[in-house]
Structure 1
Amino acid sequence: MIDFDRVVVDTQKLISIDSQNPGPLEAECADWVTERLRGIGLKPVRMEVEPGRDNVMVTVPGVDPLAPRLVILGHMDTVPIGEGWTYPPLGGVIDDDRIYGRGACDMKAGLALGIGLVEALVQTNTTPRSDVVLIATVDEEAPGMLGAHQLVADGIVRADDQVLAPEPTGMRLRQRQMGLRWAKLIVHGRMAHAGRAHLGIDANHVLAKIVDRLKTTFTALPFEDEILGRSRFTCGTIHGGVATNVVPGRAEAELDLRIVPPLVPEDAVDMLTRTAAQTIAEHPGARFDVELLGARRPPVGAHDDSQIIRGLRAAYAQHAGKQPVVGGADGHEAYTDASMVAALTGSESCTVMGPGATDQAHTADEFVPLADIELGSKLLWSLVQDW
């Protein structure tokens, strides 16, 4: 069995390592993971993605070389700490049966579970049916998701692998993931004295109109997926102007466009471009640019009959006494390393299930419930035993 108490300690230790992205990044975390795995008696391999940024991989060999590998992906980076915390963000404090800290659920508890699994296999002298591969990745929280890209480019993770990212899902099975396209929209107006505002073109105002219309457009889309729900639009950042008394000549916004089938990322970009062009046409002299940010991320999903889905359903039923909830908002709104592997390889055997709730990810006082870690420990062990 996976040692639940040790997973808790490892989660706390991982939280204490500052791996914000952007920020200190993953080097210290990768060093700790490497030494932790060596301490188990394993031989981790480090694979450079960028200078100072290594994916860390370890394999527990299985007895059947033809059996599909189980690949567990756990990213080491976190989003920035931000403000508004009442618990120390790098403290890993346990209170009210929760572990608090940046990355607690997204996803240092999930990574600790993966470490706990390979440790349990070694300590119990258990040889799994297939290879069990744990990979601690870099850059999952950035637009490029460089760690996952490198794994596929180097042939480390393949289309026939059964891939699990134990990201925060509240231990619910997230079988599908929304598509995603990030973009920067830049509006160019004309500066003028605020007292002679009619001589300028207010880039802030034009940008605000475009953003408002995009929100309306996305809300009105007729497509609804039975698991993922509906497409979503978020204006994540907006900047414009140079001074209070100057008509802004330039404004920009970074947009998050999340889509469900049958839409693909190009459809989202087309809606953005058409809406911007129609609005700009109402303001002679203004113009706009669109810059695409990060990787193309189409909607992806795991097939009902894939081994990873069948195995997780059976393990969950064994320990929770019921089938995992799948449907409605229980798809997955976030794009993960598993999602990117699916997008790049065409795989239908990549999924997401792990401790902590998506609602807690990226928040102040982020936490992961101890109960989720305990269930995750039981579930992962059963998954491998029954593989």
Structure 2
Amino acid sequence: MADSTLADPLPLAQALMRRPSITPAEAGALDVAQAALDALGFKTQRLKFGAVDNLYARLGAARPNFCFAGHVDVVPPGSGWTSDPFAAEVRNGFLYGRGAADMKTAIAAMIVATESFLAAKGPPDGSISFLLTCDEEGPAVDGTKAALAALKAKGETLDHCLVGEPTSEDRVGDTIKNGRRGSLNVVITMEGKQGHVAYPQRANNPVTAMVELATALKARKLDDGAPGFDPSNLEITTIDVANPAHNVIPQRATAKLNVRFNTAHSGESLIAWIEETAQRIAKARGAKAELQIASQSVPFYTEPGPFTDLVSQAVRESFGITPMLATTGGTSDARYIKDYCPVVELGLRNETAHMVDEHCAVDDVRTLARCYEAVLRKYFAG
């Protein structure tokens, strides 16, 4: 049930979800959040880079500066929904629509939690800020990453940050993400020489070199894990030749791979290893290898300590459970925030994120708002 002293985050969540802010379009979602923060006395500013609009809002000028961060952009809805994906319809206690889990509801909960905190405690002994982007589901270059650099150039400092990504598994509050693995996507092209299969001496089959390369890459054990992390893993996701003929040795073979890696590695060290291995095998086979880095994101890790303890205490107070710290899952904008301040992620269940009929329990959104309010209360209590 909603706390009688806390405003209901549902109307704000619905207002945000009714803006079809598919990456990188803001579509009025940032306007909704900005209006709500303006009403609370925040000093707001828009930071636009390329096609991406971002919002930074701050209440207070002193430190420490506690930041709520998240994104209002969503992935395309797809087809097959039982209701309009941007209608934010409530059915049987569940809120349906894009952003219900990931993560417009969390932004609404953050704003309502701040409103409740200010009503009860007044202005904090420090500052509260919000950093919201429209680029997390896209390239993530002109969003949080660019905004943080611009804010630093203006003299802004963040001391701690909580990101509202959907981190929970079985119950809301059961998981706090204090880290995420890095991700590296690589496209490898192996160039040989086309020819007739009956005369292999006149050709050079790139598939042979590619299979050997894939075997060599998979054979290496990357690590045994790192503090807070499971072992890194490399997966070959496709090998493509596009050869319709049975009697032709192809000229080219292409492979794609992904590495999910912990803090034992950097993207650069992994790229150097893959490059060296590819070139060595290509040379031995008389082929030519070329690598293209399709995308790269770095891992982040916040050491367990006072900040993670504080957020865990807020979860126990609000949800009545003890959360676990985890570093599983995909990437998030916390990988950029970690260069500026300690950061953790806490949000709703991730079970339906990016799915058709994405939804969440309305009561979970209300409890999450209470939890965020508890975080603020404990943080500014010292």
TM-score range relative to shorter protein: 0.7 to 0.9
Which residue in the other structure is 1:182 paired with? Answer: 185
SS in 2 for 1:106: coil
Q: d(CA) in 1 for partners of 2:236 and 2:49? A: 30
SS in 2 for 1:173: strand
Which residue in the other structure is 1:230 paired with? Answer: 231
- Aligned pairs for 1:1-387 (under 5 A) are 6-21=8-23, 25-38=25-38, 42-50=42-50, 52-61=51-60, 65=62, 67-82=63-78, 88-95=84-91, 97-121=93-117, 126-156=122-152, 161-170=159-168, 171=173, 172-191=175-194, 207=210, 210-211=213-214, 213-217=216-220, 220-225=221-226, 227-235=228-236, 241=242, 248-281=250-283, 283-284=285-286, 286-294=287-295, 296-297=297-298, 299-306=299-306, 308-326=307-325, 330-342=326-338, 344-345=339-340, 347=341, 349-357=342-350, 359-387=351-379
Report the CA distance shift for 1:121/1:266 in structure 2 as closer, same or farther (over 3 A). same
Q: How far has the Cα of 1:166 moved from its partner?
A: 0.9
Q: d(CA) in 2 for partners of 1:86 and 1:283? A: 55
Report the CA distance shift for 1:179/1:40 in structure 2 as closer, same or farther (over 3 A). same
Report the CA distance shift for 1:111/1:194 in structure 2 as closer, same or farther (over 3 A). farther
Is the CA contact 2:74–2:99 (under 8 Å) kept in the aligned structure 1?
yes
Q: Which runs of 5+ in 2 are unaligned?
A: none
Q: d(CA) in 2 for partners of 1:263 and 1:160? A: 26
SS in 2 for 1:257: strand
**Quick one: which amino acid aligns to residue 316 of structure 1?**
V
Is the CA contact 2:6–2:113 (under 8 Å) kept in the aligned structure 1?
no
Report the CA distance shift for 1:294/1:25 in structure 2 as closer, same or farther (over 3 A). farther
Q: d(CA) in 2 for partners of 1:199 and 1:124? A: 82
Report the CA distance shift for 1:9/1:259 in structure 2 as closer, same or farther (over 3 A). same
Q: So what's the TM-score if we normalise by structure 1?
A: 0.79
Is the CA contact 1:73–1:166 (under 8 Å) kept in the aligned structure 2?
yes
**Quick one: which amino acid aligns to residue 359 of structure 2?**
F
Is the CA contact 1:176–1:300 (under 8 Å) kept in the aligned structure 2?
yes
Larger radius of gyration: 2
**Quick one: which amino acid aligns to residue 386 of structure 1?**
K
Q: Which runs of 5+ in 1 are unaligned?
A: none
Q: How far has the Cα of 1:46 moved from its partner?
A: 0.7
Q: How far has the Cα of 1:252 moved from its partner?
A: 4.0
Q: Note the alpha carbon deviations across 1:120-142, whole angstroms, 9 max, x for none.
A: 34555732232110121132223
Indicate the percent of aligned positions where both proteins have the same amino acid: 22
Q: d(CA) in 2 for partners of 1:88 and 1:317? A: 35
Report the CA distance shift for 1:294/1:194 in structure 2 as closer, same or farther (over 3 A). same
Q: So what's the TM-score if we normalise by structure 2?
A: 0.80
Is the CA contact 1:68–1:161 (under 8 Å) kept in the aligned structure 2?
yes
RMSD between aligned residues: 3.5
Is the CA contact 1:356–1:369 (under 8 Å) kept in the aligned structure 2?
no
SS in 2 for 1:317: helix
**Quick one: which amino acid aligns to residue 381 of structure 1?**
E
Is the CA contact 1:59–1:132 (under 8 Å) kept in the aligned structure 2?
yes
Is the CA contact 1:15–1:91 (under 8 Å) kept in the aligned structure 2?
yes
After superposing the two structures, state which structure 1 stretch, 171-180 or 228-237, moved more.
228-237
**Quick one: which amino acid aligns to residue 314 of structure 1?**
Q
Report the CA distance shift for 1:210/1:7 in structure 2 as closer, same or farther (over 3 A). farther
Is the CA contact 2:223–2:232 (under 8 Å) kept in the aligned structure 1?
no
SS in 2 for 1:333: coil
